[in-house]
Every structure is written in structure tokens, then in C-alpha cells.
Amino acid sequence: MIAQETLTPEEMAEIDHEIALVPVRRAAAIEALKIVQQHRGWVSDDSLHAVAGYLEISPEELDSVSTFYNLVFRRPVGRNVILLCDSISCYVMGYEKIYEQIRERLGIAFGQTTPDGRFTLLPNACLGTCDHAPALMINNELFRNVTENDLDEILDRYH
Amino acid sequence: METPLTQHISFDRPCYSLRDYEKNGGYQALRKALSLSPENITNIVQASDLKGRGGAGFNTGMKWSFVPMNGHYPVKYLIANADEMEPGTFKDRMLMEGNPHQLIEGMIISAFAIQANISYIFLRWAYKKAGRLLKHAMDEAYAAGYLGKNILGTGYNLEMYLHTGVGRYICGEETALLNALEGKRATPRAKPPFPQVSGLFGKPTIVNNVETLCNIPHIINNGPDWFKSLGKGNDAGTKIYGVSGRVKRPGLWELPMGVSMRELIDDCAGGMANGYGFRGALPGGASTDFLVKEHLDINLDYKSVAAAGSRLGTGTMIILDDHTCPVGFVHNLEHFFAQESCGWCTPCREGLPWTEKILLSIERGEGKPEDLDLLDMHTRFLGPGNTFCALAPGAMEPLQSALKYFREDFEKHIDQKKCPWR
């Protein structure tokens, strides 16, 4: 399929800024994917084609980069993304109970989005706050020492 | 007891601004360093016996000494590896959120030592607060003339960029990190050539861990003998040690290198939480071998931990308590490693998911006695020398030691056809 979508002037300006910092155009690939995701919420096939064209690399090559990294979303996500740490310290401190509670409360498992598009739930490797396990992030905010008691209150903050 | 790395860190107040940092001696080491020759700085760091704090434990000054200094390389790079993603490791976050200028000063001195004019902080995505604080501190440093052109009137130029990754454990491997910075998939590169000679965009490059770089200003200020005197036994300096799991006070402490495991767990972390007993610990992150009760009195320095059959790694310890199933614990680790394998070499790409599946079936009560032989086989086939990088051998460290120290627990799962902890 030929890409119908193009980058917005704003996106191009931001990507140009990154390209100026590196000796070869393609080295801005990850930054460019981040920029597009920031603007569009995720990286669709059309967006990917547009970025690849702009960086002068093949879409296949860019897709191999985009799918390599955990936090480039190649599928649509909800308005809020919950990243629940499932690594070892959080395992020992009981992240599984928090996971159970999120599943019950929101009706979604890892990798799923609520039908109203409010939340996407993803597992995340160690968030680096192991002395305050279990931990999760919602969008850009970190929550530590999460208990079953305060989970509802945390989720209620996001719409 | 001296705590150079954390002396100006307190989370009861905002982290130091440039002015506060300067008032407390900040950037004095940079002024001193710029009056020395680059080779002299490298020699001082090498003599201090500072070893890389990211896990490998290689002499930092020696690593720098491999960078060509003959003037034939106009472009060189210095990179701070702030992609802290080893499960159970949370020390660099504290250093960056607690005192971002300390890292920046260490980076400028280190870049000057190898005569690099471009530097990067490769920060993991999840560290939002650290990113904000570092960006602000970098702006302050540029405005004050510590970064940019003609630093402090010496003619030395250094640009610094903050790059936030998009999440992949293998980015912590220094050659994979270089590929990520080049906008590629973060697969490790073959060595040689080593990055010191051919690194980022093919130019000489040094990649150092955050904690390593934070030590540099103090070594320049106080000298290599002072740094050596900080350590208790075999190794120089202090170390940010951490404990997580079921202890009374999980946390981080800056202690003399070589403190005993018992002191760390009992005195600093307050011992095991009420009702929980100690069964073992991974001393330095997910990819280190278990230590058990008989090791509690060993000193946590590189040599002593190696003699006990493990690695100091990142120095942040994860405790296995007696209410946690060792098979479930190791399954969690191998799930992580299987997910994070970059897929480049076959043993790692195929072996880790296989290992994870066997562990899951044992944990679910579906294991067979011969599964233990299969796991033993994997610890050999995925061990050092059989894979492209250190990810899979690292993944085998907790597994092989769990099979050694907790074999009965594995056998119980198979005999009882269930997890005794569930």
C-alpha cells in the first residue's frame, strides 16, 4: 500500500531538529518515531511509511527498529497507558495481586485496552524503584508502594 | 565514614541547583582537571583503581587508556550509560535525581580526559524525573560556561545531549547502546573492534555507567590514594549498595566497598521483615548467581563475591525469602530475559524461551524429572562462550545457582505435581 499520510509541518520541524544533531539522517529514526507517537498516540503503518520516507530509509528497515523497542506502540493505545512492573522485586512484593485487581476493576489483561478507550494495560520490565515495590506508571507518572487499597483511587484520577 | 557520592543528596529538599552545587565545592574538580593534561587525568583514574559500577567491574582508567590520543581522531564521544534496566537495580536513578550536576561534572572531566567533544546521556524512558532534572542542570551548566565552546576559557569544547531510550534491556550493553544511538535495533556488535577505537558512528567512544562517572570529580579532588583508602578490602572507593525484597527497610546506602553482606542486610536494611526468613539473595541484580546463608559473612567486593561463586554486578541485592517460591522467582527472571533477548543469536533467542517454558511447567505442577536435566543442559549451552553477548550467560547465573541451592524445591514441585507455595 502506498502511504497516503504525510508528516505535519510541526512533526517535520521536530524531526529536522533531531536530524541536525546526528551525522547521518537515519540516526534520528528512534527520535522520529517518538515524535510521531507523541503527536498521534501510536505509530500506524501509514505513519511509519511517512517517517521512513522522510528519513530516506525503507519502511521495512524502520519497522524492524520500531518493533524492536518496547515502548513504540504499533497498535492504538487508550488515552492512558498503565505500565505495571512485573520484574523480580515487584514479583516478590506481590505485583500479581495488583494485576488481578486491575483485571477485575477494568476488565483488561496485559496488552488489552478498555472498550471505552480509557486505559491500555502493559507489562513493563523493572521500573528501577525496587525499594518501593510494587510499582507502576500511568502515562508519565510513577506510583510506588502500590497497595490493593490505593489502586482504585489511583485509577480514578485518569479519565 | 566518608560518603562522597551521596554527601549532597537529600530527598527532603529539592536537588541542588548549580549555585548550591558550586557553594558545596561543585565544579572545582573540573577546574582542576582542565589544568591537567588529559593523559594525567587518565593515569590518576587508573591509579585510583575505580572499577566500572555498571556490573562488569573493569578498571575505568584502563578503559580510557585504549582511546587513541594521537590527534588523528577529530571526533570522539563520551557516553553516560543511564539505561538502568537490570531488574532489582535502582541506584543510578537516585544519583541522577539526587544530584544531577555531579554526573555532568564527572562527564565533562571524563570527556576531557579522552578529548571527546560530544557527549550523550543515554537515559531510560521511565526515568522522567531524572530526565527533567538533568535537562535543567545541563541548561545551567551551558549558561555558566561549563558546557559548550571554550569551557572556562581553556579552549576545550564539549556538547552534551540527553537521549531517552524507548525501552529495551539490551541497550545497557555498551555496543547495543551505540546501535540504539545510531537509530538502529539495539543488537550488540562484534568485538573487536572495541568502542574505544571504533564506537558511535565508527569513532572512538567511551561508555561509562552513571555511578562510575559520579566518582570522577571526587577522585580528581582528593587523589587516587584517598579513593583507595575508602574501600574496606580488595576494592577501592565507596559503592551504592541496595536491598529490595522482604526486608524491614529496603533502600540504598553508600558504604565502603567491601562491606559484608550481613551488615548490609541486618544493619542497613534492618533484617528480614517480620515473619519472613532469609533463603538467598542475588547480590547484584537479576543476572547474578544466588548467594545463601553460608555466604552472609563475605565481603561485597568484586573478588570476594566472585570467590563465593557469584558477581558483585550492580551491587543492588534482591532477597529471596522463605515465603516466595524459588521456582516462581527464577521463572520470573527467565521470563524477563526471554522477553529482552535481542534475537540476534540462536542459543539466546531459542534457549531462553525454552528455559522459561520448562520453569513455568514445573511451577504449574506439570514438570517431569528429566526437566531438571534439560535445565542443567541449558545452563551449559547458554553459558559463557556460546552466545554473542553476555545476556544469556547472565540469565543462566540465577538459574544454575538455584538448581544448586534450591534443587529440593524444584523436585518437590515435580513430585507433588504442584507448587508447594500456592
Contact of B253 with chain A, judged by CB distance below 8 Å, is answered with no
Inter-chain residue contact B250 with A29, CB threshold 8 Å: no
Checking if the pLDDT of B125 tops 60, the result is yes
Give the nearest partner residue to A129 out of B93, B169, B336, using CB atoms. Answer: B93
Q: Residue B82: which H helix or E strand, with range?
A: strand B77-82
Q: How far is CA A119 from the centre of its chain?
A: 12
Give the nearest partner residue to A88 out of B87, B124, B167, using CB atoms. Answer: B87
Shortest Cα distance from B242 to chain A (angstroms)?
Answer: 8
Residue B379 CA: distances (Å) to CA of A44, B88, B327, B404: 40, 22, 15, 11
Q: Which single residue is written with the C-alpha cell 545541563?
A: B138
Give the nearest partner residue to B336 out of A64, A125, A140, using CB atoms. Answer: A125
Give the nearest partner residue to B183 out of A26, A70, A125, using CB atoms. Answer: A26
CA distance B98 to B21: 11
8 A C-beta contact, residue B193 and residue B203: no
CA distance B14 to B29: 23
Per-residue pLDDT tens for B345-370? 999 999 999 999 999 999 999 999 99
Inter-chain residue contact A126 with B85, CB threshold 8 Å: yes
To the nearest 10°, report the CA torsion of B238, B54, A35, B195.
120
Q: How confident is the model at residue B420 (pLDDT cuts 50, 70, 90)?
A: very high
Inter-chain residue contact A88 with B333, CB threshold 8 Å: yes
CA distance B270 to B114: 43
Q: How confident is the model at residue B233 (pLDDT cuts 50, 70, 90)?
A: confident
To the nearest 10°, report the CA torsion of B341, B342, B345, B349.
40
Inter-chain residue contact A69 with B165, CB threshold 8 Å: yes
Contact of B245 with chain A, judged by CB distance below 8 Å, is answered with yes
Closest chain A residue by Cα to residue B247: A131
Give the nearest partner residue to A70 out of B92, B161, B167, using CB atoms. Answer: B167
Contact of B363 with chain A, judged by CB distance below 8 Å, is answered with no
CA distance B388 to A133: 33
Inter-chain residue contact A133 with B244, CB threshold 8 Å: yes
Contact of B318 with chain A, judged by CB distance below 8 Å, is answered with yes
For A133, the grid coordinates are: 515495590
CA distance B78 to B38: 14
Shortest Cα distance from B345 to chain A (angstroms)?
Answer: 15
Shortest Cα distance from A84 to chain B (angstroms)?
Answer: 12
H helices then E strands: how many in chain B? Answer: 17, 8
Report which of B161, B116, B155 is spatially closest to residue B141, judged by C-alpha positions. B161
Per-residue pLDDT tens for A9-52? 999 999 999 999 999 999 999 999 999 999 999 999 999 999 99
To the nearest 10°, report the CA torsion of B159, B160, B165, B169.
110
Q: Residue B279: which H helix or E strand, with range?
A: strand B278-282
Q: How confident is the model at residue A2 (pLDDT cuts 50, 70, 90)?
A: low
To the nearest 10°, report the CA torsion of B119, A39, A120, A159.
120
CA distance B93 to A131: 12
CA distance B135 to A73: 25
ipTM: 0.95
Inter-chain residue contact A92 with B126, CB threshold 8 Å: no
For B96, the grid coordinates are: 541522577
Give the nearest partner residue to A128 out of B126, B250, B342, using CB atoms. Answer: B126
Inter-chain residue contact B89 with A129, CB threshold 8 Å: no
Contact of B286 with chain A, judged by CB distance below 8 Å, is answered with yes
Shortest Cα distance from A27 to chain B (angstroms)?
Answer: 4
pLDDT of amino acid B1: 85
Contact of B326 with chain A, judged by CB distance below 8 Å, is answered with no
Checking if the pLDDT of B6 tops 60, the result is yes
Question: How many residues make up chain B in this entry?
Answer: 422
Q: Which single residue is written with the C-alpha cell 514438570?
A: B367
Closest chain B residue by Cα to residue A132: B250
Cis? peptide before B283, omega within 30° of 0: no
Closest chain B residue by Cα to residue A23: B201
To the nearest 10°, report the CA torsion of B322, B324, B330, B332.
-160
Mean pLDDT of B109-122: 98
Q: Which DSSP string corresponds to B292-346?
A: -GGGTTSB-SHHHHHHTTS--TTSEEEEEETTS-HHHHHHHHHHHHHHH--S-SH
Mean pLDDT of B10-23: 97
* Number of CB pairs, chain A paired with chain B, less than 8 A apart: 134
CA distance B178 to B207: 9
Mean pLDDT of B78-102: 97
Checking if the pLDDT of A3 tops 80, the result is no
Give the nearest partner residue to A71 out of B127, B167, B243, using CB atoms. Answer: B167
**pLDDT, mean over chain B:** 97
Checking if the pLDDT of A4 tops 70, the result is no
Inter-chain residue contact B329 with A91, CB threshold 8 Å: yes
Checking if the pLDDT of B29 tops 90, the result is yes
Inter-chain residue contact B250 with A30, CB threshold 8 Å: no
Shortest Cα distance from A68 to chain B (angstroms)?
Answer: 6
Give the nearest partner residue to B329 out of A86, A88, A130, using CB atoms. Answer: A88
pTM as predicted? 0.96
Residue B206, beta-bridge partner list: B78
